[in-house]
Structure 1
């Protein structure tokens, strides 16, 4: 008997990402602009196989949720929106109010812990960068949220009179404005990761990997030290673990 086909949906601030999975592997994946409900509906109409269950997380608000729900309703498929909680899939929350933790951060930690099976720093680098610490037993110790690289560059352009964003590159000693802006943003992101990593190393008194995902992951990875585990679509990986546990 073949394993069930699962649909996982990550409704983020700028993109809705989806993955069709069977038996721990991906059949198909894709993404569309969060605001483009028609594009998501079209993608869902073209799925190569009919899923038996859909699980998602949503940090993009009610409109994004409605787009997803409408598209899946056309396939006769309800979606279960997963929310953060005190304990799930081997991960427990140390957040002051567990239900207020972003559902995408929670799913990413579950995905990372299922892969590592121990302490790790979970970094998701997108519109925002989240840096979340798990101890050896899968307990979420706490985390950081900061602007993503593109968000930093956009803010500089919007809030200053003389800085205009253009295609810059990372340089040890930037000699033009575009390179200076890009280097500063990358250093801020990588520096935050390294500080959070060192704090976790001290907390668990040992070496821990950095689990890295998101659109800016490759850019940041070049400037990190220690063991870095690059996982594509970490939030979807976590949602898959959650969905498989609901079978």
Structure 2
């Protein structure tokens, strides 16, 4: 049994895999990290516990404290030049965000051809994975929530919009939400246009994945918790 944890800026996602399928998955907010302490009691004897953390060393320490019974098999994953069928062509491979790295490895395990790997969370990352498994590079832009807040905080009259997507918005809140989603989807589609391969696809994951996916005009697949798929693959690689 493998336990995987993806510690992001806002939430910690976790999953338990029995070698065939996911037995359970869940998430807790970073503010509720103490809730992780119940996992070792529910799943007492994992073979491996894999952690990807981008929330800083203090959070990594707090996670380790809550998961103390698992300490002997807890492994914090780092980005590397090669793993899981993916060749990391980042200028400094070790500096690639480990969440992006795990998402790329997960994407490779799910799709053998060229893929655009999109993580739509606090930030939106758009990474290019070639058909031969090479990670060629990628973009980072503010996520949907950050874009909404930046408009509300940086202007005198615009609200923290709670509108909806409309092709031709006719009120300010819809105009803000629609503009943000058009910007996110447009960035994804521009990068996808540069991706070569007859079976190319966009694999999109993260809390805002569904909102962006509704605006896409390219082949896509929604994948819940893609970094967990990568962590699982790294555990058996």
TM over 0.5: yes
RMSD value over aligned CA atoms? 1.4
Match of residue 139, structure 1, among 129, 134, 141: 134
2:9/2:54 contact within 8 Å kept? yes
Query: Aligned in 2, Cα 1:160/1:24: closer, same or farther, shift over 3 Å?
Result: farther
CA displacement at 1:35 relative to structure 2 = 2.8
2:32 counterpart residue number: 36
Query: Aligned in 2, Cα 1:140/1:51: closer, same or farther, shift over 3 Å?
Result: same
2:100 counterpart residue number: 105
1:10 counterpart residue number: 6
Query: Aligned in 2, Cα 1:18/1:169: closer, same or farther, shift over 3 Å?
Result: same
For residues 28 and 205 of structure 1, the distance between their equivalents in structure 2, rounded to whole angstroms, comes to 34
1:40/1:67 contact within 8 Å kept? no
1:52/1:77 contact within 8 Å kept? no
Summarize the alignment of residues 1-247 of structure 1 with structure 2, pairs less than 5 Å apart.
Answer: 5-42=1-38, 44-48=39-43, 50-200=45-195, 204=196, 206-245=198-237
Residue ranges of structure 2 left out of the alignment (5+ in a row)? none
For residues 228 and 197 of structure 2, the distance between their equivalents in structure 1, rounded to whole angstroms, comes to 30
The count of aligned residue pairs is: 237
1:128/1:147 contact within 8 Å kept? yes
TM-score, length-normalised on structure 1? 0.92
TM-score, length-normalised on structure 2? 0.95
For residues 78 and 36 of structure 1, the distance between their equivalents in structure 2, rounded to whole angstroms, comes to 23
1:72/1:78 contact within 8 Å kept? no
For residues 18 and 77 of structure 1, the distance between their equivalents in structure 2, rounded to whole angstroms, comes to 18
For residues 15 and 181 of structure 1, the distance between their equivalents in structure 2, rounded to whole angstroms, comes to 25
Report SS of the residue matched to 1:84: coil
For residues 58 and 164 of structure 2, the distance between their equivalents in structure 1, rounded to whole angstroms, comes to 36
For residues 46 and 172 of structure 1, the distance between their equivalents in structure 2, rounded to whole angstroms, comes to 49
For residues 118 and 81 of structure 1, the distance between their equivalents in structure 2, rounded to whole angstroms, comes to 28
